[in-house]
Structures are given as C-alpha cells and as structure tokens.
Structure 1
Amino acid sequence: MEYYQASLSDVEKVSELFDQYRQFYDQEEDRKGAYDFIKSRIINQESIILLLRIMNVLLVLFSCIQPLHRFR
C-alpha cells in the first residue's frame, strides 16, 4: 500500500475517479471537464491530491485538499 501526491502523470487516472465521483452525485458524465479540472489544479498548485495505490496496480482512493487562503 502506498500513499503519494498526484503529479501530471496521474491526471488521467485521477480525472476518471473524479468523474465517477461526480456521477455518483447525479452529475452528467464529463471526462474532458474532469480531466481539465484536475490538470489545472495540479499545474496551478491549487490542490494537493493524495492517492492510495495497492499492489502497484489499483488506484482506490483520492483526496483533494484545498489550501487555506487568508485575505486581509
């Protein structure tokens, strides 16, 4: 079992899970939108996406953490 932070090489896998998550909450399937959203978050460092992989094959969990912004 391995936890790690997602990088651009994980966008395809993460976006597929993210789209399935959205569909669970009655959103329309949108693979391209999910892909673009996840890719943008990683590139712009707007989220920390943590992944869990078991036996180097199965991606079973992701968690997206949004940084806290303070405005003065």
Structure 2
Amino acid sequence: MVDSQQHFLLRWGIDELVAEGRREWAAAAASPTLAAMTMRSRVREAEALLDRDGLGGFQAMAWVAGGFDQLP
C-alpha cells in the first residue's frame, strides 16, 4: 500500500500520541520536567510530519501481510 505520510501516520494513530502529549504537557506546564518537554515536542514534531506541503506530503509504503482488511 502506498499513501502519503500524513495519511499513513493518521491511520496508525499519531493523533492519539499527540493527544497524550498535549495532556501530559498541560498537566506539567507550570513546572515542566524533561518528560513533559518531550511530550510538548511530540506535538510540534507531529505538526511537521503531518504538513501536506512538507514532510506529510512524502510517500509512505506499507507491506500488508494477510490483505488490506488487516489495516486499522
């Protein structure tokens, strides 16, 4: 299967990872730790990876064993 990096990452749950990053950062923003900064970074990195005019426009390929019905 060939798709854009944006669709590939969304299909495999990057939005859930971003939501987790936002929650963790919001909980620790007043007194951030290294772990909280990593979560904040996750949000910003995802924006770059999903940008259709940037990295999100790259093509991603997935080998699907067992057929396309195995995809999320």
> Same fold by TM (over 0.5)?
no
TM-score, scaled relative to structure 2: 0.34
TM-score, scaled relative to structure 1: 0.34
Give the structure with the larger strand fraction. 1
Give the structure with the larger helix fraction. 2
**Which structure would you say has the larger Rg?**
2
